[in-house]
Amino acid sequence: MKTINRLAIALDTDDSVEALRWARDYREEFGYAKVGLELFMAEGPGIIYALRELGYRILLDLKMHDIPTTVGRAARVVGGYGVDLLTVHTAGGVPMLRAAVEGLAEGAVAAGLDFKPQALGVTFLTSDPAVDEAAFVARLDAAAEAGCGGYVCAAAEVELAKERHPELFALVPGIRFKGAQPDDQSRVATPAEALGMGADLIVIGRSVTRAADPDAALAMLRAEAAAF
């Protein structure tokens, strides 16, 4: 896999002008654009179409969690947007996750898309300071059982997750450069650590978008990613 397709830029802003400026500026460095709650609430699906026009694969990080019918029907709508990945919360349980998987696939088919979007099960947030291993495994297994294409976890959990479910896609947020402030994240890793531990895709937000010197941050990222 090309390394840029293992890197997602989190466009966490409520302003489409800023989001699209970042997206254009960082187009050569990242294969995926991550649209999260803030940007999606502000701009709706239009921002997804604009980012696709720029050639990005799309990670829509809505961490859906509701009754199965509601999630399934919402996921069906998302399937039609042309996103590649959608996050759903494993705490919702297997029937809810399965509804998301099925809804997403149905929506993509109904929209005539020629690729199959994948649901990723969020296990525990990277802002959680500590994670119980048994609880993590239970959530991971729920994602697998429901047919999710992958899961979201901290870098430190990827090895265990890959041993258990090698076929699933590992998405890892909570990325910080060495020595940087973790902000509200707890279980952080550097880009090289996370990629080295086997993350298929890492999410990088404020370390680049809010960096005092974004060019220097990108240079650091390029240097770390060069080994992969």
Instruction: Round the CA-based radius of gyration of the chain to a whole number and report it.
Output: 16
Query: Contact with ligand C5P (CB under 6 A): which of 43, 61, 84, 157?
Result: 61
Active site residue 178: no
Footprint of ligand C5P on residues 203-222 (CB under 6 A)?
A: 203-207
Number of helices followed by number of strands (H, E) in the chain: 10, 8
Shortest Å distance, C-beta 34 to ligand C5P = 6
> Judged by CB under 6 A, which stretch of 43-51, 93-101, 107-115, 169-177 contacts ligand C5P?
169-177
* Residue 126 binding ligand C5P, by CB under 6 A: yes
Is residue 107 close enough to count as binding ligand C5P by CB under 6 A?
A: no
What number of residues does the chain have? Answer: 228
Judged by CB under 6 A, the residue of 23, 47, 74, 175 near ligand C5P is 175
Q: Please enumerate in sequence order all residues whose Cβ is within 8 A of that of 159, keeping only pairs 6 or more positions apart, or say none.
A: 197, 198
Q: Which two tokens stand for residue 74?
A: 């919402």
Which one of 64-72, 95-103, 132-140, 168-176 is the stretch in contact with ligand C5P (CB under 6 A)? 168-176
Nearest-angstrom CA–CA distance, 228 and 225: 6
Query: Please, what is the minimum distance in Å from the beta carbon of residue 162 to ligand C5P?
Result: 17
User: CB neighbours (10 Å) of residue 205?
Assistant: 21
Site for ligand C5P in 10-49 (CB under 6 A): 10, 12, 36
| 174 scored as a contact of ligand C5P (CB under 6 A) | yes
Q: Does residue 204 contact residue 221 with C-beta atoms inside 8 Å?
A: yes
Is 152 within 8 Å of 200 (Cβ atoms)? no
- Residues serving a catalytic function are 63
